[in-house]
A and B are shown apart, each in its own frame.
Chain A
Amino acid sequence: MPDPARDAQPARDWRNADAPGDLRRYLLAGLAYIALGLVAKEVLAWWSYGMVFLLLAVWGLPAWRERLRRRARR
Chain B
Amino acid sequence: MSWAAHDFETYVLQRHLQGRVSYLGILAGTYAPDALTKWYVYGVDKGPIEFGAQDPARFHRGWPGAGFTHSLLFCVLVAGVAYVASRRNKAWGYGMLVGALAHVLTDTNDTLGVMLFFPLSTEHVSTGMWAYAAGIGRYDDAGAYYSCLGLVMDTFWLAVALCYRRVLSVDYFRSVVVPVDPAWGWLGRRLPEVAMLAIYRTSFFYGTTRLIAWTVWAHVLHDYSWDLSWGGPDWVPAVHD
Contact = CB atoms under 8 A, between A and B. Distances in A.
Asked if A and B are interacting partners, one says yes
Interface of A: 2, 4, 6-18, 26, 29-30, 33-34, 37-38, 41, 44-45, 47, 50-51, 54-55, 58-59
10 contacts: A2-B87, A10-B178, A10-B196, A13-B192, A17-B192, A47-B7, A50-B202, A51-B202, A54-B205, A58-B198
Interface string B175-216: 000110110111111111111111101110110111011101
B51 interface: no
Secondary structure dominating the interface of B: helix
B224 to A, nearest CB: 14
Secondary structure dominating the interface of A: helix
B185 A7 contact: yes
Contacts of A47: 7, 31, 202-203, 206
B41 to A, nearest CB: 12
Given A30-B208, A41-B217, A47-B7, 15 more contacts: A8-B181, A8-B185, A11-B189, A17-B194, A18-B194, A33-B213, A34-B209, A34-B213, A37-B214, A44-B142, A44-B210, A47-B203, A47-B206, A51-B206, A59-B192
A34 B212 contact: yes
Given A17-B170, A37-B209, A58 B188 contact: no
A12 B197 CA distance: 13
Contacts of A44: 142, 209-210, 213-214
